[in-house]
Amino acid sequence: MITMDDIIREGHPTLRAVAKEVPIPPTAEDVELGKEMLQFLKNSQDPVKAEELNLRGGVGLAAPQLDISKRIIAVHVPSVDPEKPENGISTVMYNPKILSHSVQEACLGEGEGCLSVDREVPGYVVRAARITVSYFDSEGEKHKIRLKNYNAIVVQHEIDHINGIMFYDHIDEKNPLHLKDGVLVIE
């Protein structure tokens, strides 16, 4: 079971490395890792389990955050609308790639956080509002999905991790709270 002790923190060289692709279909070891990563996210969002296991809440986790330099990400974003559970996303992606993105940009109103960063980093992290992503699942089947707004931001954050990029690399150092016209702010 993955706990906060397994997550490496900023400054660790693995977080700045470009992760290696995994073989498709994924090995049994990679499939198990993906399942454990997704379970960690579910546990971190369960108030009882999170307190019991001392977990910080998270919606995404990338293998490099566990000091495993592989192109594996897990995302678990429950739908805020119980009538439309399909508006959430809960999956493990092997070798995910962003195929295309919108010109429209978006950011989270309260900024982004990261399980590998133990400090507040103020500033807007501007990303594409909509993306199309291809990835393989644990069976080795290829998928292509379109994501928008919050789900798109979460997946871009995790794909950044497998490319050695931290969320604060996107923040304008000189003016962290400045936004260009037209950027969608998601509250």
**Residues that are catalytic:** 158
**Helix ranges restricted to H, the chain:** 28-45, 47-53, 149-162
The sign of the dihedral angle between the CA atoms of 55, 157, 64, 135 is: positive
Whether residue 12 is annotated as binding a ligand: the answer is: no
Q: What is the C-alpha separation between 132 and 143, in angstroms, rounded?
A: 10
Whether residue 107 is annotated as binding a ligand: the answer is: no
Those residues whose C-beta lies under 8 Å from the C-beta of residue 125, and which sit 6 or more positions away, are: 107, 108, 111, 112, 153, 157, 167, 168, 170, 171
* 90 bridge partner residues: 76
DSSP state of 19: P
Q: Which parts are annotated binding residues for Fe cation? A: 114, 157, 161
Which residues line the annotated binding site? 114, 157, 161
